[in-house]
Chains A and B, each alone.
Chain A
Amino acid sequence: MPSRPPVRPPGTRGRGAWRGYVYVLPAFLVYVAFAVLPALHTAYLSLFEWDGVTLGEWVGLGNYQEILQDSVLRRSVFNALVLVVFFSFVPIALGLAMTGLLARYRRPGMGAYRFLFMLPQVIPLVAVGVTWRWLYGDDGLVNQAFRTVGLDGVTRAWLGDFDAALVAVGLVGTWVLSGLCMMLFLSGVQKVDPSLYEAARLDGAGPVREFVSVTLPHLRGELAVAMTVTTVAALASFDIVYVTTNGGPGEQTTVPGLLVYRLAFSEGKVGLAAALAVVLGCLILAIVYLINRLSRTET
């Protein structure tokens, strides 16, 4: 987005310039008090061993060390990264493929499709989770579909299967986020000057080359956004996992969000939970930073 530098209105030099902060202050205070300070407080708590009730004990970076050593905690971070594949890579790939196929023509009747594709975005993830929990169940739609095509052998309770559970949870994310990615890219393509396509076509470019040389370069901003949004959704996932598998079977679908909740509030390991939350926050920040960095250097 082009952001013009605001024109300096006359008479707002010097001390008077600060007066504008009166408008910012209320938002600033709420934001700092209920989001920024708690985040810093989390970092502080992560340096203690604390059960949430009795006096805590200063352990420095001990909790972080435990995250490195404990197999369950490490596993949860690994699972979150696997989810990134399904929440981010697959939807983006799908979205790009669709965009490549649809980019060249203005299409009437997109309104209805747009409505449908954005639908999974607006409903509560808990409801999404409950829905898929049933679809993946013994008598669910997924098994019904396999039985219909004669593949009775592969039917199972997908969320209880060691090999399938994480993929199954990941595909729920794919279902939720694919539409968003696709709509983002399609709306980005609308901004491309149609004459560019005509020029490419006159040069004899096929759909693939056209996509690579015309469509893709114009979608850099949208790509960065899609990656950011979907990656954060994957790393910070909680709702879907909580209602579908609650982390099981074994630790196959345990994600950091779930462990933060469990450790802090039912296992009495508040410091460890805080440390895991900090790791999660840093991971998200690092990835967001990286995506922005990359999307800019390519310019």
Chain B
Amino acid sequence: MKDQVVSNLAWRHRKAAAFRYFCIGVTMFAVAILVVLIYQVTSLGMPWLDMQFLESFPSRFPEKAGIKSALVGTLWLISLTALISIPVGVLAAVYLEEYAPPNRLTEFINLNIANLAGVPSIVYGILGLAIFVRFFALERSVISGALTMSLLILPVIIISSREAIKAVPGSLRQAAFAVGATRWQVVRSHVLPAALPGVITGVILAISRAIGETAPLIMIGALTYVAFVPEGPMDEFTALPIQIFNWTSRPQEEFHELASAGIIVLLAVLLAMNAIAVYIRYRGSKKSS
């Protein structure tokens, strides 16, 4: 009897160990693919990555081609998208979590937000083309792109912000109400500060997605050859993913290498944004503890 128990234990330990190695293996596989990708991109793109590349406009000649208009276009696009989508998304989440009565209308809104998060991005492109470009006659401007991108990432921001707000314990709200606070004072002083790290994480993920999106921008006609930088929200523009897409679709090998250089710039922009998010979270957690 005793032996049986012991052998059984050994078998269980083997199973536990096997699962552990399996998990390590899967993780390594994912990391390895990422390393290969980054290696390939940097080995191809690095020789092209210099100030000349960053400061030049697109060109037919690979050695003269640069990414200036696309980089500035992306920065414009993302800044405007953030300005529009963050306040709207976070406040919508606050409304739905803290104020909305649990009735049919709220349920209907919830259902729709969940569905919208799953709609393919090209559909948002069509919507943006119909509403912003045509109906509001904003043309192929940065603001059209930013509004379309905002629509695209709003469901993501709303859902993740709601999760962060929902995670704030009810006992904290009750404590604040019990000393005679109004709903706004509770939200402002307790719920939002406690939810902030989660909200920021969701916002950054959403914005990062917007940086990489190409389909909706092609749909609303962000130009692929733009030899100027936008100077206002009504100017035409192009963006990094579009420029990269354009270069990869050309036959010459040099342009493929330029695309790799463009990808490095895109990754750098993404990493910079994530770094900002980490910093804000770090500061937030230091303040509350």
Do A and B truly interact? Answer: no
Interface residues of B (CB under 8 A from A): none
Chain A interface (Cβ within 8 Å of chain B)? Answer: none
